[in-house]
Structure 1
Amino acid sequence: MSSPQNPMPQAAPAWQGTAASPHAGYTSPIPVVRTHLGHALVSEWTKIRSVRSTVWTLGVFVLLVLGIGLLTGVVVSSSSSEMSSADNPLTLGFFGLLLGSICLITLGVLTTASEYGTGMIRTTMTACPSRGRVLAAKALVFFLVAFTTTLVSSVLVAFAQTAMLGGSGVRQPSGAEWLKGTVGVSLYLALLGLLSLVVGSILRHSAGAITIMIGVVLAPLVIALFMFTQSLEKVRTALIDYSIPNQLSVFYSNSLTHSGPSGWDPLWIVLAVTALAFAGAWALLRQRDV
């Protein structure tokens, strides 16, 4: 009786590899893509546009800027004595933007600090372990959203106000005044909101960060108003000169004093402060546990 023939040896599956190299020849069925800043930007854009806080804060911002701006234009146009022919008509948009800045501050803080409150930051850092990339993506997305919203709102108000005041003897703004009263103001407020985002990342507490930023906006001017003594005159003047409301008014050539920032100085000031705060937030983010 003949002995049974040995069966043909079967080839090992590709995933088993060989004895010398157990993973040689393995090919993952899932495509592996090296992540980059673009992926983080898409993620942050998805988050910022899908939460209701963005809709509410930006909605209230637009309502304040347009509502107060148009109301001010109607009141001034009905009384020709309110503005002289030498005044910049774009100044009437100041009040709505000043109140609207609180909305941008709130949204900026919530963009970072709210994730710590909900625990979502753990998922974010797991998906993108590069913490500096996460902070940069949040900053870029928020800045573009804040700048675009502010620019559109300020331009609409500016056109409406100049149209309403056209028959009241008020002069038309120059090109430089248009640039500062729309693009300049929008850059300033977007950077102020970005500073709030960075403060939210540093404190990791929404209520605390919002309170601090509102204090930064309002406290210097309010404190200066109660400094009556002559010995505090220099301190009082400095607080008024560098307060947020006064810096915002500089873009309309309507500063509260004659010794503080002028031209585009407020933009460089807030840019420098935001850059320093961003560097501090980046350093803390790398050292902290999530």
Structure 2
Amino acid sequence: MSTTTADAGAAVRGAASRVDSQPVSLGRAVKSEWIKWRSLRSTWAVLGAAVIGMLAIGLVIGFNTRHLTGNQDANDLASSAPLQGFFLGQLLIGALGVLFVSSEFSTGMIRSTFAAVPKRQPVLWAKLAVFSVITAVVMTVATVATFLISQAVISQSRPGFSLADPGVWRYVLGTSLYMVLAGVVGGMIAWMVRSTPGSLVSFFALIFVVPQLFGLFGSAGKHIAQFFPSQAGEAFTVAQPEAPHLSPGVGLLVLCAWAVAAIAAASVTLRRRDA
């Protein structure tokens, strides 16, 4: 009996010695977040809705502007016109950024995540990397496809635009970049608010409500409103943004500053608050 016990103990110690202990690293955290992403149906559903929305709105604009009339808006005839679906896309990608973070807080899974990654910061960077790469690739493909399909519809009735025309690549890639950065801001809001409804309300207020409120206060308010994410994004994604507006380069810098500030605030919040 004692021999059997000794043999069993030796076997357990041998098995334990063969366990490959793997320390926490950013690469492993990214792999973990990728597994979470692909296992959630909601992430693919929201991302798919953003793609379908871009394509559908682009097709509608192409169909409605294939014949020139005297009462068409200038922006509906510009080279950036087929990409106006970003008005819907920014909401969906922003909501996706929120859900990718806040869903863990709502289910309590964040406690297990922080137990596996005690330093916490790698979790933020891993989620940011997975979200940014996936949405950038998918939405870039979506914007290029939307532009090409819409122009194919238009070219059946009148001359349209091509990717080689001046400014077109700025609108196409800029639209994708804007939606990704809007989603990053949404995700960082979720790190700070930690509630899905609260995060969504905060994101929508930042994108739509607050700039509109500033616009009610005359020219001074409108000049302030152009520094909010949505209007800064329009500066480099729309051929003829509403006045007053920033230059494309300044608009991009302002939007990047919003994203960096949101990341910094989320990082500080993550270090100071418990799960």
Normalising to structure 1: TM-score of the pair? 0.82
Partner of 2:227: 242
Partner of 1:196: 186
Amino acid at match of 1:256: E
Normalising to structure 2: TM-score of the pair? 0.86
Q: How many aligned residue pairs are there?
A: 264
Larger radius of gyration: 1
Amino acid at match of 1:236: K
Partner of 1:269: 254
CA displacement 1:13-36 (0-9 Å, x = unmatched): 9x89xxxxxx9x997221122331
Partner of 1:50: 39
Change (3 A) 1:176 1:130: farther
How far is the alpha carbon of 1:174 from its aligned partner?
4.5
Match of 1:252 among 238, 241, 244: 238
Equivalent residues in 2 for 1:20-39, closer than 5 Å: 28-39=17-28
Partner of 1:223: 213
CA contact (8 A) 1:202 1:284 kept: yes
Match of 1:62 among 51, 67, 77: 51
How far is the alpha carbon of 1:176 from its aligned partner?
4.8
How far is the alpha carbon of 1:172 from its aligned partner?
4.2
Change (3 A) 1:46 1:175: farther
Amino acid at match of 2:252: L
Structure 1 Cα separation of the partners of residues 198 and 25 of structure 2: 32
Amino acid at match of 2:50: F
Which runs of no fewer than 5 residues in structure 2 stay unpaired?
1-5
Change (3 A) 1:133 1:156: same
CA displacement 1:29-75 (0-9 Å, x = unmatched): 21122331110001001101111210221121112111111111101
Amino acid at match of 1:233: S
Structure 1 Cα separation of the partners of residues 227 and 15 of structure 2: 63
Amino acid at match of 1:199: I
Change (3 A) 1:275 1:245: closer
Structure 1 Cα separation of the partners of residues 214 and 272 of structure 2: 38
Partner of 1:278: 263
1:214 aligns with 2:204: yes
CA contact (8 A) 2:46 2:93 kept: yes
How far is the alpha carbon of 1:233 from its aligned partner?
2.5
* RMSD after superposition: 2.7
Aligned sequence identity (%) = 26
CA contact (8 A) 1:83 1:170 kept: no
Structure 1 Cα separation of the partners of residues 33 and 257 of structure 2: 25
CA contact (8 A) 1:41 1:137 kept: yes
Structure 2 Cα separation of the partners of residues 45 and 37 of structure 1: 12
Task: State the SS of the aligned residue for 1:77.
Answer: coil
CA contact (8 A) 1:48 1:111 kept: yes
How far is the alpha carbon of 1:244 from its aligned partner?
4.2
How far is the alpha carbon of 1:90 from its aligned partner?
2.5
CA contact (8 A) 2:50 2:89 kept: yes
Amino acid at match of 2:263: F
Amino acid at match of 2:78: N
Equivalent residues in 2 for 1:65-80, closer than 5 Å: 65-80=54-69
Q: Would you tell me which structure has more helix in proportion to its own residues?
A: 2
Task: State the SS of the aligned residue for 2:245.
Answer: coil
CA contact (8 A) 2:182 2:229 kept: no
Task: State the SS of the aligned residue for 2:190.
Answer: helix
CA contact (8 A) 1:89 1:165 kept: no
